[in-house]
Structure 1
Amino acid sequence: MGAVKTKRMPRAVREQQMLDAAVQIFGQRGYIAASMDDIAELAGVSKPLVYLYLNSKDDLFTACIRREAQALFAAVRAGVRRELPADRQLWDGLLAFFTHTARHPDGWSVLHLQARTHGEVFAAEVTVVRAGIVAFVTQLIAEAARDALARSADRAPAGGASVDPPLPERDVAGLAEALVGAAESLADWANATPSVTARQAAATLMNFAWTGLGELMAGRRWSPPSA
């Protein structure tokens, strides 16, 4: 009886399998300690095949960074429904961010810890996608500010006191940077604290960003929608 031929796996599928293994190894062991032997073994392929598909350890790490960055950005964008009020858009974006980073802790480690500390080339890859997220958040904040300004104008009595001027672009940009930076730090903390869920992390930052520290100290909080 002749040997049974197994169906050859498509290159794209095999490559994703290698990237899955690489993200796990890089995320858990770090870039320096990760070895191509361990990645190949976890992926269930030979080391020469990893080199054939992805050229080198540096190229493999870069491919991991790009894939995880694109997945994170896509998750945040998909989570935001632009037809909803500004606070719901911000909440949905934060929840999508923390849900993704909680579900993919190795990918988050690759992006936020490993890529930033192992050379300018890797750090530059993260900088590009982070700039995209900051730009997206900047747009959300700018739209929220315009909505708030419009509501203030509607409430103002005819011929009465003037409405506050729009939030300056510099302030909008600064708020977006602060919010993204806070989300990154909070994701690290939440992933290292098993008792903290993605929803709890999102609610913490939502209250800090939307309600404000002063209001929180007075016992007033923003209530997340029901799950």
Structure 2
Amino acid sequence: MPRAVRERQMLDAAVEVFARRGYSAASMDEIAELAGASKPLVYLYLNSKEELYGACIRRESRALLDAVQSAADPEDSADRRLWCGLRAFFAHTAAHPSAWAMLSCQARIHGEPFAQALAELRQEIVDFVAQLIAAAGRDQERAGAALDAEEVSGLAHALVGAAESLAGWANTRADAAPPAKETAATLMNVTWAGLENLLNGQRWAPVRP
């Protein structure tokens, strides 16, 4: 079997085991058995449990980011690009629940350097969303539509955090998970509707008692 194919099998098996057991409890014996390989062969190809875990994080991070970015056509409007990106995000996390469990939970638990790799993935997604929000402001060209850089960054972080939470909710429901399109629409109804108010100069303010 070609080395690339064998390594992919090992990484696939490792993602499943790390998601189910966590880094500390996962065993190379179980990973090797699930991959249909010997433990010495796993060590030969991927050197150590730590390096194997790092390879899984990097592969799954890149796959998720590619799915989100490739779904958004740069020729589309900002809201359409965000909609397509969110739909791709929820479709990918639903199709790869073990990978998402490892990225969203296990990497944080294990800590550095894996938490740093996850933070970098998250920041790339936040930057992508921030660009869309800033583009929406430029597209509107309405009075009161100006959003400063700090506000754009805050809105992007809030939206990405909500998307992460929704993905976790959808993947752990006891009944059937909602379609990615439906989950994306839920988030668009909350965030884009509010953003439109901002771009129209309508800002929320607390009512005095």
C-alpha deviations, 1:154-174, integer Å up to 9, x for none? xxxxxxxxx325211111111
Correspondences of 1:17-56 after superposition (within 5 Å): 17-56=9-48
Q: Which amino acid letter does the alignment assign opposite residue 159 of structure 2?
A: L
1:191 aligns with 2:191: no
CA distance in 1, matches of 2:93, 2:79: 21
Report if the CA contact (8 A) 2:10-2:35 is conserved: yes
CA distance in 1, matches of 2:151, 2:159: 12
1:67 aligns with 2:59: yes
* Partner of residue 210 from structure 1, selected from 163, 169, 192: 192
Correspondences of 1:36-185 after superposition (within 5 Å): 36-149=28-141, 152=142, 163-164=143-144, 166-185=146-165
Q: Which amino acid letter does the alignment assign opposite residue 139 of structure 1?
A: Q
CA distance in 1, matches of 2:119, 2:112: 10
Q: Secondary structure at the match of 2:75?
A: coil
RMSD, aligned CA: 1.4
Q: How many residues align?
A: 194
User: Which structure 1 residue ranges, 5 or more long, are not aligned?
Assistant: 1-8, 153-162, 216-227
CA distance in 2, matches of 1:83, 1:30: 41
CA distance in 2, matches of 1:179, 1:164: 21
Q: Secondary structure at the match of 1:172?
A: helix
Q: Which amino acid letter does the alignment assign opposite residue 187 of structure 1?
A: A
- Given the two structures, how large is their TM-score scaled by the length of structure 2? 0.89
| Alignment match, 1:160 | none
1:14 deviates by: 1.0
C-alpha deviations, 1:65-116, integer Å up to 9, x for none? 0000000000000111111122111110100000000000000011000001
1:196 deviates by: 2.0
CA distance in 1, matches of 2:179, 2:20: 20
- Given the two structures, how large is their TM-score scaled by the length of structure 1? 0.82
User: Which of the two has higher C-alpha Rg?
Assistant: 1
CA distance in 2, matches of 1:101, 1:55: 28
Report if the CA contact (8 A) 2:91-2:180 is conserved: yes
